[in-house]
Structure 1
Amino acid sequence: MAEMTQLEERQIRDYVDSQTPEESGDEVDIVQKVGRRRVAHENHDLYDVWMTSGQRWWVITNMTNLYLQDDFKSLDQAFTYHIGLNAVLREQFAVQPDEEQVEVVGKPWRRYAGAVEALATAEEAEDFQAVGIRCRESLLALVRDNIGASWVRVHEDKPPQAANAKAWFGIFANSLTGNSKPRTYFKSLGERTWDLAVWLQHYVDASEIDAEIVLGATREVLRTFALLHADYSQPVEQRCPECDSYQVVKESSEVIEKDGAFGTLLHDECAACGWRSEQSFDEWPRERLRRLIDYKTGAWSPPRRSMEDLEVRDTDPGSA
């Protein structure tokens, strides 16, 4: 049996509970970690979960899913299905960015998705050339959306024209990172991908393979830009003071009342060694509390007197 931290066990319990209908009354009884497997550069943790009803689940991470052991008699069978399901989902959503990417490269990514769709129906050389045009438009959209951003540092007296994507990729690289290796990589990646897209646009003997290469390069530009932007925008990643691990996560309690205010207790916890920081109280604004109450629809509500007190505090000019 593989070792696991309390945090890891709690996360699996919470996941299974979230997938179990409340009206069933069934709860997680035992969580056992039964191993870890690595496929295609990704680790997958494997768990055997027992419910109070006697029902058992296989739970497999990345992307986390659960499989009824009545349907999958062996762990190998469940794991094989899990890997296949993940492959299908990744292919199905290959052109959909994650939440962070939507915020940073939403418009360019929509143009990239149009290029993917164009390839799906392409048959002749001119169709594959059109993929290059759409990829070029995606790269230009990335430039146009960011040339006026507050983080952009232009050292020249006169900034490049918006159509000069290669020059802007260099400016973006210099602005987003001081690390020479990622900076050089993104600058080179942007310039080479731009050249590829322009080449495909004019290549009269363009083929499906050519279009696939340009699509892959364009996607990598958008993905790398989003990663550099996230690294630039976020604080330095916290490391555990006990074991130096990066696996420090923010944990919170259920909503509680403290000194007449409502909120949650927060603490940092290391998934690698189990270290926990001191707790701090995070007071919730009135609107956030109301949204929670509406969402719960009666499953949780603070005492009526406390809610009335809350209303008084919000409307009292001297409460601020």
Structure 2
Amino acid sequence: MMSRTYEDVTRYVEDQSQGKCKVLSAKTEHTFDDLGHKVNVWNVKTDNDGDWWVVEGDQSPMNLYPQGAYYFSADEVYSFHIGIMQRMFSTHDTYNPEDYVKAVTLDNDIAPTLFRKLKNISALIDTAIEIEDFQAIGVQCREILIELGNSIYKPEMAGDEEQPQASNFKKKAELFIKSYMSGSENSEYRSIIKKMTEGTWDYACKITHSQTATFYEVSTCVSLIISLVNMYENVRQKSSDPISQFQCPNCKSKKFNVTDSEHDENGVISKLFLQCEECGEVTQIDFIEK
């Protein structure tokens, strides 16, 4: 498989948009050869469909990734692309959808309904062949995001604002982030999750209606969905886990032991006493469950 030309990359991006955009510029951002063959990452700008990374090479199928989601550099999109290729070329005997979901989420605790649906789309991607199969996976990806919105959202998050519609995932996600990630210390984290939220939803919608999607775009969409679910679970769990945010006030170490605890009248932990393994400092922290 030969590396593509400027014309190949331009035609590919415009075909994927179903003629709705024109490529304004496309240039090779970086070329990698650490795996024994060349892989090129192209930086592509369009007139009305945003900016894209296109990855292709000697032995690598061409694929595109939205720059507005999670992929901020050529190195990051290359790493993500290689991970997808390795999973795709594994045999059916070694590929287990549940193991794949657990690997992407670092074996994090995921709500049972979401976990079941993530396993389902991870299994479907290995049997999808026709355009209708890919579109159906896109529909399920959107449904998973709507389910995620229902899982993370609570009516009180809206405050004085109008309650979002049941299927308005992006608005529920916005209110969740505002509620759980306030403060300047979370500004960069908020920005990353917001970009990935919007990019993943838009990409799932694109797959749902695409007449030209291939296995590679749909596989990317599935991976984005799993990663996004994991990000929101991380935020939710972090908010109710003050231990993960603890740092010894004396030596700044994060290595410690729980030496004692206190409980409220309902038996819920209200205070923890932590002893630093490095300097021996004992600190009391309040356990606040959001």
TM-score tier by shorter-chain length is: 0.5 to 0.7
Q: Which of the pair has the greater relative contact order for Cα pairs under 8 Å at 6+ separation?
A: 2
Measure, in 1, the Cα distance between the counterparts of 2:106 and 2:116: 13
Gaps of 5+ in 1: 1-87, 253-265, 281-320
Q: Which residue of 1 aligns with 2:172?
A: 168
Structure 2 counterpart of 1:181: 188
TM (norm. structure 2) is: 0.52
* 2:154 match: 148
Which residue in the other structure is 1:137 paired with? 143
> Identity over the aligned pairs, expressed in percent?
24
Q: Which amino acid in structure 1 is aligned with residue 167 of structure 2?
A: A
Query: Following the alignment from structure 2 to structure 1, what is the Cα–Cα distance between the partners of residues 190 and 115?
Result: 22
Structure 2: which 5+ runs fail to align?
A: 1-93, 261-271, 285-290
Structure 1 residues 148 and 155: CA distance shift in structure 2, 3 A: closer
Q: Does residue 248 of structure 1 match 2:256?
A: yes
**CA, structure 1 residues 153+267, in 2 after alignment: closer, same or farther (shift >3 Å)?**
closer
What are the within-5 Å matches in structure 2 for residues 1-320 of structure 1? 93-96=99-102, 101-102=109-110, 105-148=111-154, 153-178=157-182, 179-235=186-242, 237-250=245-258, 268-270=274-276, 273=278, 275-276=279-280
CA displacement at 1:156 relative to structure 2: 4.5
The whole-number CA distance in structure 2 between the counterparts of 1:209 and 1:251 is 51
* Structure having the higher Rg: 1
Deviation at 1:123, TM superposition (A): 1.5
Q: For 1:197, what is the secondary structure of its paired residue? A: helix
Tell me, in whole angstroms, the C-alpha distance in 1 between the residues paired with 2:167 and 2:129: 30
Structure 2 residue aligned with 1:304: none
Contact 1:114–1:134, Cα closer than 8 Å, also in 2: no
After TM superposition, give the deviation of residue 268 of structure 1 in Å: 4.0
Tell me how far apart the structure 2 counterparts of residues 192 and 158 of structure 1 sit (CA, whole Å).
24
Counterpart amino acid of 1:214?
A: C
Instruction: State the match for 1:315 in structure 2.
Output: none
Query: How far is the alpha carbon of 1:91 from its aligned partner?
Result: 8.1
* TM-score normalised by the chain length of structure 1: 0.48
The one-letter amino acid of 1:250's match is V
Counterpart amino acid of residue 245 in structure 1: S
Q: For the residues of structure 2 that align with 1:232 and 1:92, how far apart are their CA atoms?
A: 27
Once the two structures are superposed, residues 206-233 of structure 1 have per-residue CA deviations (whole angstroms, 9 ceiling, x without a partner) of: 1111111111211121111011111222
The alpha-carbon deviation at position 111 of structure 1 amounts to 1.3
Contact 1:169/1:186 (CA < 8 Å) preserved in 2?
no
Rounded to whole Å, the distance in 2 between the matches of 1:90 and 1:114 is: 11
Query: Distance in 2 between the 1:277 and 1:153 partners?
Result: 38
- 2: CA distance, partners of 1:207 / 1:101: 31
